[in-house]
Every structure is written in C-alpha cells, then in structure tokens.
A and B are shown apart, each in its own frame.
Chain A
Amino acid sequence: MAANPMSQFDVYRIGPEIKIGAFDISFTNASLFMIISTVSILLVFNFGSKRNSVLPNKMQLLAELSYTFVAKMISDTAGSKAKPYFAFIFSLFMFVLFCNMFGMIPYTFTVTSHIIVTFILASFIFIGVTIIGFIKHGFGYLKLFVPSGVPAVLLPLIVVIEIISYLSRPISLSVRLFANMMAGHTMMKVFGGFVISLGLVGGWLPLSFSVALTGLEILVAFLQAYVFAILTCIYLNDALNLHH
C-alpha cells in the first residue's frame, strides 16, 4: 500500500467522525496540515513583528522581507488601488507557500495537492474579483469582455472567447497548482520506489535524480505559490483598472 505513489495523497480521518447535519467535517490529516501551516505562519509573523529594532533580528527580517516582497508584487501588478486587498493576497501567498513547503518534508501531507482545496481558494478569488469588478465599475465591468480595437466582424467570436477565458480562470488557477504539486510528489515517490526496486547496484541513479528533484520541487513549491498570488493580483488588476 505504501509503495503506491498515489497513497501519499490519501485523506484519512484522525479521531472520531464529526458530522454537522449530513456533512462530514471530521478532522483529517489534511486538516492537521492546514492547522500546522496556519499556526507556523502565525508564529513566524508574530515573532517577526514583536520587536521593532532599527537593526532587525532574523525573524523580524524574515517577516519584513516577506511583507515588502508581497507588497512590491501587488503594487507592480495591480497598482496602488489594490492596497486594501494586501492582507488577503499576503495570507493567500503565505498559506499556499507554507502548505507546499510542508509537503516537501517526507511523510507529510500536501494540502495543496488536492483539487478541492485549490479550487475553493481559486473560487474565493474568482468570486471576490468579480464582485469587486461589478462594485467598482457597475455593468461597465462587462466591457472587460469587449477588447478595444477589434474589427466588428470578429467581435462576437472574441466576446465568446473572452467570456470562456474569464470563466475558466478558477479552473486554470486551481488545476495549475494542484497538478504541479501532485505531479512533483508523485514523481518523487516513483523515483523513491525505483531506488528500492533497483537495489544497491542500480539504485544510485534514481537516488541522485531524486535528490535533484527535491531541489526542483522546492523551487516549484515556491514558484507555484508565487504564480498563484501573482495571478490573483493580475485578476484583481483587471477588476480595479479596466484597460480594455
């Protein structure tokens, strides 16, 4: 069972079954790692913001660098209007990053490798951005689907394409993160399995590949969190500043 590369994504109940009405909200390993990620984020940033010295210590530097990194990312992609949404994008980035990174530790569970989790996050963003767009621009937000400078003949086609691409945003956003996480972890597990099956003689090649893959996966873990956050910023930018 443990040799199955997909078994690392199994969700299982920890403790008793909890039900609210017909819904099963039992505490699972996924919930455990969500809580671990959340608590670590809160601890890191709590310790990073406690002391305010002119020469920051390591925790403070970490917190402040993350803060300025996300702030710069938002102001670069979505402009100054996106400032009220800083806290949301910051927590989104940190949540995805910490979940990805905790997933890199052997025998842990990767929360973001589940389509339902990423899809819910992406849906939050999609619904939120759409609401913001309609609040800011009213029905003028629909102009997003009508790019300027397009010949009138092509317009119906373009509008349909634009609507489809807009509606597919949550899917592309969630599938990108989920697929990257799942593929990477599966691959690492597969190479780990090769190390065992090829034994002492031939196992060194997949082992070295596995080591290299771990580095790559850490990069991917960071990159996917970054991409997730920056795409959110871009969608937000569309809603805040109508350029079409």
Chain B
Amino acid sequence: MIKKIYFQSIFFSFLFLKEAFAAESGGMPQLNPEFWISQIFWLILTFGTMYVVLSKFILPKISNNLESRKSQILENIEAAEKQREDSEAKLKEYDEIILKSKSEAKTMFNQTREKVLKDIMAKKEVLDQQIDDEINKAEKEIEVLRVSAPDKINKIAIETSSELLEKLIGSGVNSSSISAIVDDLSKRNGDKYYGN
C-alpha cells in the first residue's frame, strides 16, 4: 500500500514536473553520459583504494582484535574453571584430613584411655595385694599375739601370785598348783578378755 502510494506520487510528481519545468528540464541527469567516464574513473580509484586499505591493513587488525579477545575470554574462563576444580579438590583434601585426624584423635583417645585404665587397674591390684598382705600379716601378728598373750599373762599371774603368796604366807607354795589354778581361771575368763 505504502509502496503504491510512493510510486504513484513519484509518477504524479513527474507529470507535475513536466508541466512546471518543461522548459529547463533535460530529463534525468543520470542518463547524460557527459561525466560517465569521470564517475567510472573515480569510482574505481576510490573503491579500489578503500578495498586495498581495508583488506590489507584494517580488516586483519579487527579480526585479530576479535580473535585475541575471544581467546583471552576463553583463557580466563578456562583458568577460572581450573581454579574452581583446584579449590574443590583442596576442599575435598581438607575434608579428608579433618576426617582422618578426627578418627585418629578418637583412636588415640581410646588407646590412652585403655592404657590409663589398665595402669590404674594394675596399680590398684598391686595396692590391693599389698593391702591384703599387710592385713594378713597384721592378722597373723595379732593371732600370734593372741595366742601368746594368755600364756604370758598366766606366767605373770603365776609369778605375781607366787610372790604374793610367799609374802603373805612366808613360805613357798608349789608353783604347779598355782599354775593349775591360774589356767583354770584364765580358761573360765578367756571369753571375757579376748572376745573369742
């Protein structure tokens, strides 16, 4: 539609022109061959120069710029990717180290605990043994003392009683009869003195 209007108006404008400028118009200047050779010459000269300069100097530079930028960006992306991978690997390594050290610490702790417990147990046993020994020893001594005590007491009793009797009566008394009496007494009172 627009095109139609466009060409119609051009057509009408030509009609209009013919009336208005019939006297001075010599048709289309494009069809006047006066400067054709000149235009061809200058066209070839300018276009040729431009083509040579563009193709030899400018376009290679632009393509070079584009290529170098592309490769630079690609390189940067690659480097970034590599660094990311590196950091990921390092992170993994770090995690592994942490896990390993954690387990190591656990085993160390367990080992030392066991060792300490063992030590404690051993020392405790030794101490228990010593305590038991000493208790036994003391018990034995006590036993010995307990066993020997009545005899000594009896002996003392017999001596003192014989001395007393001597002093009282003034004459010796048969020591065997005294001892018999003391024995009898001590046996009767034994429960009272020694808690047996």
Q: Which residues of A contact B (CB under 8 A)?
A: 1, 3-7, 9-11, 13, 23-28, 30-31, 34-35, 37-38, 41-42, 45-46, 48-50, 52, 54, 60, 63-64, 67-68, 86-88, 90-91, 94-95, 111, 113-117, 120-121, 178, 182-183, 186-187, 190
Q: Do A6 and B55 form a contact, CB below 8 Å, given A11-B39, A23-B37, A91-B50?
A: no
Q: Are B38 and A183 in contact (CB under 8 A)?
A: no
For residue B49, which residues in chain A have a CB less than 8 angstroms away from its CB?
Answer: 38
The CA-CA distance from A37 to B51 in the complex, in Å, is: 13
15-38 of chain B: CB within 8 A of chain A: 16-17, 20-21, 24-25, 27-32, 34-38
Q: Which residue of chain B lies nearest to A10 when distances are taken between CB atoms in the complex?
A: B29
29 contacts across the A-B interface (CB closer than 8 A): A4-B21, A7-B29, A9-B29, A10-B29, A11-B38, A24-B35, A24-B37, A31-B39, A34-B46, A38-B46, A41-B50, A45-B54, A48-B62, A49-B61, A63-B62, A64-B62, A67-B59, A87-B51, A87-B59, A90-B59, A111-B43, A115-B31, A117-B39, A121-B47, A178-B30, A182-B28, A183-B10, A190-B13, A190-B16
Q: Are A38 and B68 in contact (CB under 8 A)?
A: no
For residue A186, which residues in chain B have a CB less than 8 angstroms away from its CB?
Answer: 10, 13
The 6 tightest CB contacts between A and B, nearest first, are A87-B55, A31-B42, A49-B61, A190-B13, A34-B46, A25-B41
For residue B16, which residues in chain A have a CB less than 8 angstroms away from its CB?
Answer: 190
- Contact among A4, A5, A7, A9 with B30 in the assembled complex (CB-CB below 8 Å): A9
The CA-CA distance from A27 to B43 in the complex, in Å, is: 11
The CA-CA distance from A63 to B69 in the complex, in Å, is: 14
The CA-CA distance from A46 to B59 in the complex, in Å, is: 9
For residue B42, which residues in chain A have a CB less than 8 angstroms away from its CB?
Answer: 25, 27-28, 30-31, 34-35
Closest beta carbon of chain A to B74's beta carbon, Å:
12
For residue B54, which residues in chain A have a CB less than 8 angstroms away from its CB?
Answer: 41-42, 45, 87, 90-91, 94
B contacts with A, residue count (CB < 8 A): 49
- Contact among A25, A31, A35, A187 with B13 in the assembled complex (CB-CB below 8 Å): A187
For residue B69, which residues in chain A have a CB less than 8 angstroms away from its CB?
Answer: 52, 54
The CA-CA distance from A183 to B12 in the complex, in Å, is: 12
Total A-B contacts with CB atoms under 8 angstroms apart: 151
Q: Which residue of chain B lies nearest to A50 when distances are taken between CB atoms in the complex?
A: B61
Q: Are B17 and A5 in contact (CB under 8 A)?
A: yes
For residue A10, which residues in chain B have a CB less than 8 angstroms away from its CB?
Answer: 29
For residue B36, which residues in chain A have a CB less than 8 angstroms away from its CB?
Answer: 116
Closest beta carbon of chain B to A180's beta carbon, Å:
10
With an 8 A cutoff between CB atoms, is B189 at the interface?
no
For residue A48, which residues in chain B have a CB less than 8 angstroms away from its CB?
Answer: 62
With an 8 A cutoff between CB atoms, is B180 at the interface?
no
For residue B66, which residues in chain A have a CB less than 8 angstroms away from its CB?
Answer: 64, 67-68
For residue A49, which residues in chain B have a CB less than 8 angstroms away from its CB?
Answer: 58, 61-62, 65
For residue B9, which residues in chain A have a CB less than 8 angstroms away from its CB?
Answer: 187, 190
Closest beta carbon of chain A to B142's beta carbon, Å:
103
Q: Are A95 and B29 in contact (CB under 8 A)?
A: no
The CA-CA distance from A54 to B140 in the complex, in Å, is: 103
Q: Are A120 and B50 in contact (CB under 8 A)?
A: no
For residue B27, which residues in chain A have a CB less than 8 angstroms away from its CB?
Answer: 6
The CA-CA distance from A178 to B31 in the complex, in Å, is: 12
The CA-CA distance from A91 to B31 in the complex, in Å, is: 26
For residue B73, which residues in chain A have a CB less than 8 angstroms away from its CB?
Answer: 54
For residue A46, which residues in chain B have a CB less than 8 angstroms away from its CB?
Answer: 57-58
Q: Do A67 and B30 form a contact, CB below 8 Å, given A52-B68, A117-B43?
A: no
Q: Are B62 and A45 in contact (CB under 8 A)?
A: yes
Q: Which residue of chain A lies nearest to B64 when distances are taken between CB atoms in the complex?
A: A52
Q: Are A23 and B41 in contact (CB under 8 A)?
A: yes
With an 8 A cutoff between CB atoms, is B72 at the interface?
yes
The CA-CA distance from A7 to B17 in the complex, in Å, is: 12
With an 8 A cutoff between CB atoms, is B77 at the interface?
no
